Amino acid sequence: MTDPLDPLDETWEAWTARVAADLAALADDEWVTLTVHVQSRASRTYAAEQDRAHATGHGWRRVFSHPPTRPAAVPDVFVQARRLGDVVALECIADTEFEGLTDLTHAQHRALIELGWQADEFPDLSRTFAADEAAAAQLLRASLEGVLGAGSPSDVDVRRATKR
């Protein structure tokens, strides 16, 4: 049975409602950053090695003779929401190193635009919502779940910050 208060059991519908409430509660000097949690390469490699060792019944010497398999890539992208008066402004920062590079494929970039994001300076995107936090939260969910690789709300890291 799932616990409705456990964030690991949260449904996308509950997550979307919670994020909409968080967006409505933002002050002008606050913002929220959302990213799809990406496991470190070291933790993925260790887990793959352990799985292989247990599956084959062989020790560590046998494990290192086969390279670890790579999981599906999650693009290094973050989404930021902030309040500008009565407007909720969303930014999809696809160039996280600010070097003109992105992990997004052209298909992912196109998919985000088709969801309703507006193209800014490539590869970044933006969107504003006038007093419609629910619609902003829906776009965040659709982007994170449908394009950026979040399998569930527990895959999304949400951080709230205040400008000082």
Identify whether residues 49 and 104 lie together within a single domain.
no
Number of domains forming the structure of the chain: 2
Q: Which residues of 69-101 are buried (b: 16+ CB within 10 A; e: fewer)?
A: eeeeebbbbbbbbbbeeeebbbbbbbbeeeeee
pLDDT digits (tens, 9 = 90+) for 46-99: 445 545 554 555 544 444 444 443 344 566 788 999 999 999 999 998 876 666
The pLDDT, as a whole number, for residue 128 is: 97
Residues 47 and 126 in one domain: no
What is the separation of C-alpha 102 from the centre of its chain, rounded to a whole number of angstroms? 15
8 Å CB contact between 48 and 68 = yes
Q: How does the average pLDDT of the chain come out, rounded?
A: 79
The Cα–Cα gap between 61 and 21 comes to 52
- Same domain, residue pair 101 and 114: yes
Query: For the segment 137-164, what is each residue's pLDDT rounded down to a tens digit?
Result: 999 999 999 999 999 999 999 998 876 5
Same domain, 52 and 107: no
CB distance 83 to 119 below 8 Å: no
Asked which of 71, 92, 115 is the last residue of a domain, the reply is 71
Do 101 and 48 lie in a common domain? Answer: no
Regarding whether 99 and 46 lie in a shared domain, the answer is no
Burial environment of residue 153 by CB neighbours within 10 A (0 to 12, 13 to 18, 19 or more): buried
pLDDT category at 101 given cuts 50, 70, 90 is: low
DSSP 8-state symbol, 33: E
Domain limits at 151? 7-38+74-162
Taking the whole predicted model, whether its pTM rises above 0.95 is answered as no
Q: Are residues 115 and 56 in the same domain?
A: no
Q: How far apart are CA 65 and CA 89, in angstroms?
A: 50
* Dist. CA 151–CA 163, nearest whole Å: 31
Say if 1 falls within a structural domain: no
Taking 50 as the threshold, does the pLDDT of residue 1 lie above it? no
